[in-house]
C-alpha cells in the first residue's frame, strides 16, 4: 500500500470532497495560489478556481463569520485558521454563533462547518504561536472536536467531518504534517467518536491524541517487555469514546492521560472524571494526567522542550504508576 504524508492526506480529502459535493468550498488566509501556510490546499485553487477557494484578508472573525453564514444557507465551508492561537479573534463566531444556532433554531438550521486549524509545541515559535487550546472547544456544547494522529486518520476523519451537519473543530499538529504512513486509495471514511487501540497491553492504559499518540507508542516500545503498555488514540474528543477507555481500564487497572496542553483544566481531567464515575472499583493505582506546564511557551528551544511531555518523561511516569498503590497515599 502506498505511503503519503499527513499534509498530502489532508489535501486529498479536501480535493475528493470538493469533487463529490459542489457545495463544499474553502475559505482562509493564503489558501489560493500559495496553497496555504503549510501547503494543505496546494493545487486546489488551480483546480477549482477562486469561487470555491476563497482567499481572505488576515481577519479570523471575518473568515469564521462568513463560514457560519454560508453554512446556514446550505453550503459546506471549510474555514482554515492558520494558527489556533488566532482563533481567539473569531471566538464570538465560533462559540456564540456556530455552536449555538442549530440549538436555538430547534434544529431548523444546520451548520455543516469545518474549522481546520493547527497547533503544537516544538517549532520554536514562542508563546503566541504554540498553544494547545482543544479544551476550550470540548467545553463548548454544540461543537465536535477532532484531533487526528496519522495520515490515515487525517484523511478519513476530515472527510467524515465535512459530511457532518454539525460544526467541527478539526485540530492538526504541525509537527505531524510531513509524517508518512499508509493511506489506501478509494472511498472510505473514519467515523467520528471511535477510539482505536494502537498497541495492546495488560499493565497500564495510556490515552493520547495527535502527536502524543506517537510519544505514547515510543514509550510502549521503550518499556517492552518490562511493562506492557496499552496505547489508545482517542481521535475525537467530542464525541468521546469513553466505552473503549473503560474497557481498557477494567483490564489494566491503571491509566495515564497524555496531552500537550497545560495539565490544569485540560481534557485529561474530564477523561478521568468519566473513568472515576464508571470504573473506579477497577483502579489499583490513582489515575494520572501528564500534560504541559502551566506557563506560556518560551522561545528558547531547551525551555520549550521542558514545557511539554517528552518520551523520557512519559517513561518515568509510567514506571512510577506501575510501582504505586492506593494505600501509599493514605
Q: Find residue 255's DSSP bridge partners.
A: 205
Rg, C-alpha atoms of the chain? 20
Q: Residue 211 in contact with residue 149, Cβ under 8 Å?
A: yes
Distance (Å, whole) CA 26 – CA 241? 29
> Cβ(258)–Cβ(290) under 8 Å?
yes
Catalytic residues: 60, 129
Please state, in angstroms and as integers, the Cα–Cα distance from residue 288 to each residue in 30, 56, 149, 318, following that order.
41, 43, 22, 10
Residue 7 DSSP label: H
Dist CA 215 CA 217 (whole Å): 5
H or E element, residue 258: strand 255-262
Amino acid at each position: 500500500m502506498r505511503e503519503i504524508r499527513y499534509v498530502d492526506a489532508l489535501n486529498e480529502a479536501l480535493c475528493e470532497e470538493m469533487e463529490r459535493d459542489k457545495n463544499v468550498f474553502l475559505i482562509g488566509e493564503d489558501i489560493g495560489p500559495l496553497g496555504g501556510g503549510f501547503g494543505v490546499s496546494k493545487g486546489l485553487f488551480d483546480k477549482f478556481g477562486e469561487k470555491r477557494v476563497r482567499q481572505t484578508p488576515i481577519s479570523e472573525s471575518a473568515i469564521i463569520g462568513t463560514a457560519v453564514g454560508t453554512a446556514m444557507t446550505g453550503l459546506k465551508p471549510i474555514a482554515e485558521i492558520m494558527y489556533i492561537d488566532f482563533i481567539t479573534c473569531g471566538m464570538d463566531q465560533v462559540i456564540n454563533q456556530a455552536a449555538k444556532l442549530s440549538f436555538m433554531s430547534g434544529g431548523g438550521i444546520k451548520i455543516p462547518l469545518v474549522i481546520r486549524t493547527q497547533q503544537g509545541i516544538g517549532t520554536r515559535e514562542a508563546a503566541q504561536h504554540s498553544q494547545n487550546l482543544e479544551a476550550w472547544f470540548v467545553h463548548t456544547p454544540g461543537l465536535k472536536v477532532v484531533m487526528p494522529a496519522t495520515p490515515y486518520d487525517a484523511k478519513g476523519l476530515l472527510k467524515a467531518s465535512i459530511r457532518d451537519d454539525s460544526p467541527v473543530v478539526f485540530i492538526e499538529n504541525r509537527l505531524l504534517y510531513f509524517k508518512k504512513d499508509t493511506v489506501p486509495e478509494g472511498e472510505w471514511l473514519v467515523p467520528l467518536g471511535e477510539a482505536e487501540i494502537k498497541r495492546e497491553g495488560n499493565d497500564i492504559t495510556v490515552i493520547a491524541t495527535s502527536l502524543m499518540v506517537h510519544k505514547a507508542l515510543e514509550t510502549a516500545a521503550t518499556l517492552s517487555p518490562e511493562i506492557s503498555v496499552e496505547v489508545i488514540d482517542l481521535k475525537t474528543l467530542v464525541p468521546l469514546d469513553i466505552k473503549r477507555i473503560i474497557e481498557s481500564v477494567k483490564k489494566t487497572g491503571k491509566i495515564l492521560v497524555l496531552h500537550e496542553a497545560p495539565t490544569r483544566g485540560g481534557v485529561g481531567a474530564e477523561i478521568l472524571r468519566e473513568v472515576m464515575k464508571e470504573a473506579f472499583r477497577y483502579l489499583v493505582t490513582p489515575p494520572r494526567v501528564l500534560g504541559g506546564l502551566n506557563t506560556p511557551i518560551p522561545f528558547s528551544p531547551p525551555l520549550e522542550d521542558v514545557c511539554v511531555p517528552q518520551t523520557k518523561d512519559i517513561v518515568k511516569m509510567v514506571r512510577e504508576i506501575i510501582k504505586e498503590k492506593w494505600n501509599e497515599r493514605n
